[in-house]
A = this chain, B = another copy of it.
């Protein structure tokens, strides 16, 4: 059912049937290390290049989600997937072997939310009984694509974030089964250009998009922050989070006590030297699978607004002096014991 300008409330919600997540060593040493399905100590995942390493991680994560549920890839009707690399090569090579009808998505670090939005729209409509959504990032392939060669050992400003090596996969189903979490609604974000041009401060570039999507969500559903137990943004990091809280506060809306950011949860940022926090498509995807969903499944939280954010830039756009537009998609996750509005 359409709600307001940019939101949907699903007559037929999607149930999160299975998840799988795999990450690198650094993420394994972070606060979520013990709840991530698999930690791969070899950053290359046995592959000859960083990009292929990311593809191997995707393939392994997708297969793990299938195996956990005794499914094979032909049981999945559609795959919604994306990554950070130009022309989505991690995804193209990571998922080609699955032979699932695929929609390739690019929403930068918001990709897992874009995939959840489209996947749950598909389930709501009865266009599929079961879909897979997937997003990944790899520290080394992202550094190579967006920043500096690893061997160069550049200094990073404290506003910079650390790209997460990780992949999260979810299988959504129209049948409740034993699922303890459902997607009840979504708010689709718009590209917002706040005039930020510093690629080492992506939190600042994305915070206005997060603010825009939260406001739109509140307006479309005629609710305020009290409706949610948690409001969890994607990877704004320390600086972006502060900007978002300031913006919300200026709107007379205090979300400090119920806001978390995936980029602040994935690492111990001080001890692990990750500066402003974690980022990358894998950041929100990993935190969703290993941290947010378990808290919904055990009833700690009843309703969460999950808001992965993306910074829409490429090396070409920022080398040519262009700004960094941001985008943020909102997904309403509910414990299946929760009440509907």
Give me the interface of A with B, judged by CB distance under 8 Å: 1-2, 5-6, 8, 48-49, 51-52, 74, 77-78, 82, 84-89, 92-93, 95-97, 99-108, 114, 117-118, 121-122, 124-129, 145, 188-193, 312-317, 320, 322, 325, 327
Contacts and interface: CB of A to CB of B under 8 A. Distances in A.
A93 B325 contact: yes
A174 to B, nearest CB: 11
A185 to B, nearest CB: 11
A327 B95 CA distance: 12
Contact of A121 (B93, B104, B106, B122): B122
A103 B114 contact: yes
A46 to B, nearest CB: 15
A49 B320 contact: yes
Given A84-B87, A102-B188, 17 more contacts: A2-B77, A5-B77, A49-B320, A78-B188, A86-B87, A86-B314, A87-B108, A87-B312, A87-B314, A92-B191, A93-B325, A96-B193, A100-B190, A101-B190, A118-B118, A121-B125, A124-B125
Given A87-B108, A118-B118, A314-B87, A322 B93 contact: yes
A86 B51 CA distance: 14
A51 B117 contact: no
A313 B82 CA distance: 14
Contacts of A314: 85-87, 89
Given A82-B106, A325-B93, A101 B188 contact: yes
A82 B128 CA distance: 24
